[in-house]
Amino acid sequence: DQLRVANAIGFDRTTISGVIDRLEAKGFLQRLPSKVDRRAKELLTTPAGRKLLQAIEDDATQYLERRR
């Protein structure tokens, strides 16, 4: 959920909300009501979001390999 993401990366609730708004608007994330807690929103990556994450991981791996 949003709060766990905010805590994990050290952002406050207001900041993470704006970041998630932009990621959702670009089609990388989707917010859905939590099945466990009606007040919370679960964050799911979309296919486009998973593709972006894979590209970032690939680029990071290539960068680290070049630095060796």
Residue range 8-32, pLDDT digits in tens = 999 998 899 999 999 999 999 999 9
Asked if 34 and 1 count as a contact pair (C-beta separation under 8 A), the reply is yes
* pTM, entire model: 0.78
- pLDDT at res. 56: 96
**20 three-class SS:** helix
53 Cβ neighbours under 8 A, 6+ residues apart: 45
Q: Is the pLDDT of residue 1 over 90?
A: no
Alpha helices per DSSP H over 10-46: 13-25
